[in-house]
Chains A and B, each alone.
Chain A
Amino acid sequence: ETGVTQTPRHLVMGMTNKKSLKCEQHLGHNAMYWYKQSAKKPLELMFVYSLEERVENNSVPSRFSPECPNSSHLFLHLHTLQPEDSALYLCASSQDGTGHTGELFFGEGSRLTVL
């Protein structure tokens, strides 16, 4: 496999459920991101991991919990979500450090619906 892969592609959950989104990158990058994409809004950065350490969380509610066990894998653990959390969650990766030109490589996204 190549690029950035996300699973599941679609997820429906109740407000009391606990689920996780998974992202895997095969590009040898050292930074990974979670973005939330809602209609008619700019992409919202949720979390950034660079060299497996979290460097940004942008005041995301604690019902979202990221995990980055290594530079190739990123998880987003979800619990007690609200209907307004329904959105497309995008994972991306990039090569951080000297010479970083800012290009992000995205997965196809996980479409989350909270009932």
Chain B
Amino acid sequence: AQTVTQSQPEMSVQEAETVTLSCTYDTSESDYYLFWYKQPPSRQMILVIRQEAYKQQNATENRFSVNFQKAAKSFSLKISDSQLGDAAMYFCAYYTGNQFYFGTGTSLTVIP
């Protein structure tokens, strides 16, 4: 079965500091995509970053980067220089064969 595990229900970070959110997934597929989505309170979920499994290079989007370890089936999100606007629920997701699988989310608090 395809599953996505986020072991940190809640995390907090000081403003301007760096935080890493963890995600592991289970799959027998070789071709897939991985995503981190952000859901601010009462606002829509938006894509933060995407990683294609066939690419060895870790994806980066400004202050957001991932550590993709394909053999370990690990896909962590690093947020650098955290800002108050980064406070949200973060969902790790896996996509293959027209199917999406989401984790249970990590609630990130940014402390001023």
Contacts and interface: CB of A to CB of B under 8 A. Distances in A.
Interface stretch (A12-20, A37-45, A73-81): A37-45
A103 B42 CA distance: 21
A9 B46 CA distance: 17
Contacts of B104: 40-42
Interface residues of A, number: 19
Interface stretch (B13-21, B56-64, B95-103): B95-103
A32 interface: no
A96 B95 CA distance: 13
Interface of B: 4, 9, 33, 35, 37, 42-47, 50, 52, 91, 95, 98-104
Given A102-B35, A103-B35, A104-B47, 7 more contacts: A45-B99, A55-B98, A96-B98, A102-B50, A106-B45, A108-B42, A108-B44
